Structure 1
Amino acid sequence: MGPAGDVAATTPPVRRRAPAAALRLAEARDARPPSAGPQSVSVVLTNACNLNCVTCWTYSPLRRERPALEWVRRRLDRPLLKLLFADLAGLGTERVIFTGGGDPLAHPEFLGIAGDAKAAGLKVTLISNLTLVREREAFLALRLDTLLANFSCADAATYVAFHPNRAAADFGRLLDTLRAVRAGGTELKLVFVVCRVNAHVVADRLIDVAAELGASIQLKPMSATPDTGSLLLTGAQRDVLLEARPRLERRAAEAGVHTNADAFFAALSGESAERFPIDSVGCRAGHYYARVDARGDVRYCCNPAEGLTVGSLHDAAFADLWHSAAWQALRERLHGGGFFEGCERCGKFDLNLRIAEQLRVPR
């Protein structure tokens, strides 16, 4: 693939006007069928990855079983994605989020695919560890709208502790890439999965790094599997973090660093390190979000529970699935508290908390 010539430059399709925020919120409040598409859709371009982050559900070195080769090799093809992007633009969707069962940059056509999404009029967010940026100038030329860097560290020591197959020197190279991306105008967020090996840098060193990079911080308590439970925060670490909240928020405010402290500490204050208070917050993500996995399956959210698959892009258009009775049934079930296994570790807890807070504000 050429660094620039393969990026689509077609005329953007006519976009449907997105509904007012108040209308979407009202539809979510009452679990009514949505007037337009989701605000954002996560697209798993590939399941392949080159790192072994310790908390990863798939590639953690603590896993007893390696993922099946057939699963690792799954990836979405570009023609199917072009159809998806056109569909999303027609629904009024604002943003596509390239994420992964692995890392999106492991997809050999990433540059062209990202260009296709932007040509369709969609904002593009990338979630990546950034170690696979090979055609640097072409990557920077994409001018991604938002980059969520899989960070989970604040110095070389925590970088290696969280990414065991990397060297300390790689941390400096990562910072150089992040500076270049930020200099191009991309919004930069540092995603930090808080666990036993890195909790000690959250309230201080992490703020310093984010301030230097001009980045915001997205804190997430780790979601454990049976193999990675040993990395959950100890009770003492949890207490230290809760006590450090005023200092973290004060230092972040002084440094001009935005954080999701409200959502993070709400999740951290659940009944255990493995359970977020989703019961009291509720789930209304079905009006705001969707996910497409590397096989083309369309899902209600990022929870891998089997019952949350709505259909496949190989069998139906996204718009038809979004407005289907099956999807609406899931909206109504989850709105009513009919949660699935895994919802106690909700991957969209920040979103659901934000919606819940908006619903509590008199209108």
Structure 2
Amino acid sequence: PEPAHRLAKLYIEPTSRCNLACRTCMRNGWGEPLGDMAPATFARIMGSLHDSDLPLTIFFGGIGEPLVHPEILNMVRAAKAAGAQVELISNGTLLDDEKARGLIAAGLDRLWVSLDGATPEGYTDVRLGAALSQVIRQVARLRDLRESGKPEIGIAFVAMRRNISELPALLRLSRTLGASRFMVTNVLPYTATMCDEVLYSRALSNNDYSAVPDLPDLSLPKMDRDLPHRDLIRQALADAWDMIPGKNGEKAVNDRCPFIDNGVLAVGWDGGVSPCLPLLHNATSYLHGYARQSRRWVIGRVQDQTLRDLWDSPLHSAFRERVRSFDFSPCTMCDGCILSESNEADCYGNEFPTCGGCLWAQGIIQCP
């Protein structure tokens, strides 16, 4: 898709606190203070929205659990009153009857529920401190309470070696819960012990996912998903064509930032504004088995500037153009340089923040 030239999606992080301690969480490898977005900070965000900013999607989510914030229902209500399409992601454990009714009454358009297992054992192995039966019961209750199909229900699944076998059962479960969307993402290891869980060690450098300019393009139609036939087609085309998978197939995403393409800004709980979720916090993750430090980058604060001014600022405009050209070193494919161990600089001469080691830009990690 063509990159967006206006603000189209705003991530708002109500809190960095959470009621769980999941294996996959960024908080396993950071030392930032925890906090909730102050009412005055949220009011500044809402007050800076203009009619010309619409249509706009406001997505409540970040590192914490949005339902932990004591004012989350009022925040959703205010975002809807501003004319936005409103989405929220939750682990579902705090989605009791009161919260479910409150989100429906506030006009929430879509609720994303993070489910990383279809069995009690598989689920609690990832989401420490949670109970699958409780989450299923509460999501089903919201499904039954809603009117006119709102909010829509989406399921987000973090794929790992330990839970990938539960994906088929989870897909079936999601249908019984009334989910209309299902998103699978890979795990991003925030601890060394999680490195063995990744399912993309070879995919990072696999040409099947790369566009090769010297090969002709081939667009395939829909076909019966008969496994022997699919294998024959893949074998015949392996080295002769630059394959363009279908919309619902494997995405050949390379060197494209989904946040820049989709016109995103992300506001942290403290009011700091970043151009994407990966730059919203300091974080330690692991790439090719090595620790990689990603430093937070904010283009300004909502306490000081409007969203429009932040979007149009020379700093942000220059960054968007730099990311669109994506002339960064290919750190996701090369593990031989010390510069790949941070986002400070790269071997092409780019300075902070660099994006060559970003797995979102390679279609490995994705967010709702």
Corresponding residue for 2:326? 337
Q: Is the 8 A contact 1:194 1:219 kept in 2?
A: yes
- Using the alignment, how far apart are the partners of 1:144 and 1:337 within structure 2? 35
Match of 2:68 among 90, 102, 106: 106
Deviations 1:133-162 (A, max 9, x none): 352332332231011111122232222122
Q: Which has the larger radius of gyration?
A: 2
Structure 1 segment 35-54 matched on structure 2, within 5 A? 37-54=6-23
- Using the alignment, how far apart are the partners of 1:264 and 1:53 within structure 2? 29
- Using the alignment, how far apart are the partners of 1:247 and 1:131 within structure 2? 39
Distance 1:121 1:348, change over 3 A: farther
- Using the alignment, how far apart are the partners of 1:182 and 1:196 within structure 2? 35
Structure 1 segment 137-148 matched on structure 2, within 5 A? 137-148=101-112
Deviations 1:99-126 (A, max 9, x none): 0321111111111111111111111100
Corresponding residue for 2:114? 150
Deviation at residue 97 of structure 1 after TM alignment: 0.2
- Using the alignment, how far apart are the partners of 2:93 and 2:318 within structure 1? 40
Distance 1:168 1:319, change over 3 A: closer
Deviation at residue 246 of structure 1 after TM alignment: 4.9
Corresponding residue for 1:278? 254
- Using the alignment, how far apart are the partners of 1:158 and 1:237 within structure 2? 25
Which runs of 5 or more residues in structure 1 are unaligned?
A: 1-24, 249-259, 268-276, 353-363
Distance 1:85 1:205, change over 3 A: same
Match of 2:273 among 298, 301, 326: 298
- Using the alignment, how far apart are the partners of 1:286 and 1:172 within structure 2? 34
Distance 1:324 1:141, change over 3 A: same
Aligned residues: 287
Residue 17 of structure 2 is aligned to residue 55 of structure 1: no
Quick one: percent identity of the two aligned structures? Answer: 25
- Using the alignment, how far apart are the partners of 2:121 and 2:247 within structure 1? 28
Moved more, 316-325 or 182-191: 182-191
Q: Is the 8 A contact 2:62 2:277 kept in 1?
A: no
Residue 196 of structure 2 is aligned to residue 230 of structure 1: yes
- Using the alignment, how far apart are the partners of 2:129 and 2:246 within structure 1? 30
Distance 1:118 1:172, change over 3 A: closer
Q: Which runs of 4+ in 1 moved over 6 A?
A: 234-238
More helix, by proportion: 1
Corresponding residue for 1:84? 45
- Using the alignment, how far apart are the partners of 2:203 and 2:56 within structure 1? 38
Letter of the aligned partner of 1:132 in structure 2? L
Which runs of 5 or more residues in structure 2 are unaligned?
A: 210-223, 228-244, 280-293, 329-353
- Using the alignment, how far apart are the partners of 2:185 and 2:76 within structure 1? 26
Letter of the aligned partner of 1:266 in structure 2? K
Letter of the aligned partner of 1:346 in structure 2? W
- Aligned to 1:309, the other structure's residue is in SS state coil
Distance 1:118 1:334, change over 3 A: same
Structure 1 segment 3-22 matched on structure 2, within 5 A? none
Corresponding residue for 2:300? 311
Q: Is the 8 A contact 2:116 2:158 kept in 1?
A: yes
- Aligned to 1:344, the other structure's residue is in SS state coil
Q: Normalising by structure 2, what TM-score?
A: 0.67
